[in-house]
Amino acid sequence: GFGGGEHLLSIAKKNKKIGIIGCEPYLNGVAMFLPRLVKENLGRVRVFMDDARILFEVLPDLSISKLFLLFPDPWPKTRHKRRRFINRENIKIFERILKLDGLIYIATDVNEYAKHVLENFNNQAGFEWLAETASDWRNPWKDWEETRYFSKAKRSGRKTTFMIFRKI
């Protein structure tokens, strides 16, 4: 989900001619976001109020340029790890719906989840991690908009890992 929509709104304001779909299963997030969206008059933004995986099932092949996954639930308990959003099945779906050279941006403040993401993407031939130096995952990407989850992690002293993968 897009949480409070800070990042989504920022992207939409900077890219007014691009169609954007925000997915958020929780009413509170959508209720916080919609008045701000209307105020900004951003007509190319659509909100899907449910789990993004449902939308993925009907998206056409090669239809998406960028995906953002910011501070997903890390499901830290061993018995819950199968619920993690980044998994083999979803990566195969990303491969289907992303255009060639399409990007997936992932931010997490949980080191074990960052390791999980890297392991899953490294086991898939269809993507490459765009990090060349440590600063590439330690610093936010261009056009990063601070979210409340990022601020909360920073206040708690947790470092965020920023990863970008390109479909090849």
Active site residues: 73
Is residue 64 within 8 A of residue 98, CB to CB? The reply is yes
Is residue 32 within 8 A of residue 66, CB to CB? The reply is no
State how far the Cα of 128 lies from the Cα of 49, in Å rounded to an integer.
Answer: 30
The DSSP H or E segment spanning 107 is: strand 98-108
Provide DSSP, 21-64. Answer: EEE---HHHHHHHHHHHHHHT-TTEEEE-S-HHHHHTTSPTT-E
Report the candidate in 133, 138, 134, 142 with the shortest Cα–Cα distance to residue 103: 142
